Amino acid sequence: MKLLVTVKRVIDYNVQIRVKADGSGVEKDNVKMSMNPPDENAVEEALRIKEAGKADEIIILTIGNDKAQETIRTALAMGADRGIHIKTDNDLEPLAISKIISKVAEEEKPSIILMGKQAIDDDSNQTGQMTSALLNWPQATFASKIEIDDQNAIVTREIDEGLERIKVSIPFVASCDLRLNEPRYASLPNIMKAKKKPIQTKEASSLGINIEPRIEQLKVEEPPVRQKGIMVNDVAELVQKLKHEAKVI
């Protein structure tokens, strides 16, 4: 069994996001970048499936500029086998990313595609579902537990009402929740080994698919600064301020 895991290079979750002065986007120069946190769970789950003897190879796929290879190396240091880097300098929409993943899946023929439930930069939560539709594979989103059988998998997923267990046939697409597992740290020996593991690089333009954006981003603005709260003595004063100062009632 072959596993394909998608990872994304994003601004580290500990970094305070800053908007560019011209409003064209967020500042990424000289900013700490890291692997998207839910993608780390996807990599960890793939490693556990392989360690259980149910997979033979783990392939890491990322899409982005040259620096995106750092994210692949991180996954390889965790224990993955090889990487595929689809090179592009453009910020792609979820549909374009899904098309690329589907194209790679048609070539590599994995049994399972694992990815994070969503990226912390755009919060779209669309790529897994679109990839499933393009490939016509079953999907299991927000997976908090994955149990692999011979030709099927039982996936526990989190929903508003609690937990739901579904059965999907292999091959399938799964988007991983943060509660799925605890990602491991890469040891120094594995970091050194990762430098020798192969990474195949392809230009996105060579795939023969349309990845042009459908949405035009006009401007990015920071949210307004939250005003300082005030204390009131009683309900009457609260109503008075809401009516005459805040003018919300």
Each residue's pLDDT expressed in tens, for the chain with a length of 249 residues = 999 999 999 999 888 888 888 888 888 888 899 999 999 999 999 999 999 999 999 999 999 999 999 999 999 999 999 999 999 988 889 999 999 999 999 999 999 999 999 999 888 899 999 999 999 999 999 999 999 988 899 999 988 888 999 999 999 999 999 999 999 988 888 899 999 999 999 999 899 899 888 888 888 888 888 878 888 899 999 999 888 888 888
Measured from the Cβ of residue 146, the count of other Cβ atoms closer than 10 Å reads: 23
Burial class (CB in 10 A: 0-12, 13-18, 19+), 87: middle
Q: What is the pLDDT of residue 223?
A: 83
Full-model pTM: 0.85
Q: What is the pLDDT of residue 160?
A: 85
Retrieve residue 93's tokens. Answer: 């929409």
Q: Evaluate whether residue 249 is within a structural domain.
A: no
Q: Evaluate whether residue 181 is within a structural domain.
A: yes
Q: Evaluate whether residue 238 is within a structural domain.
A: yes
Q: Evaluate whether residue 161 is within a structural domain.
A: yes
Q: What is the pLDDT of residue 3?
A: 97
The count of structural domains within the chain is 1
| Domain housing 39 | 2-244
Measured from the Cβ of residue 95, the count of other Cβ atoms closer than 10 Å reads: 19
Give me the residue label for tokens 């995106």.
Answer: 68
Q: 235: which residues sit within 8 A by CB, 6+ positions away?
A: none
What CATH code is carried by the domain that includes residue 174?
3.40.50.620
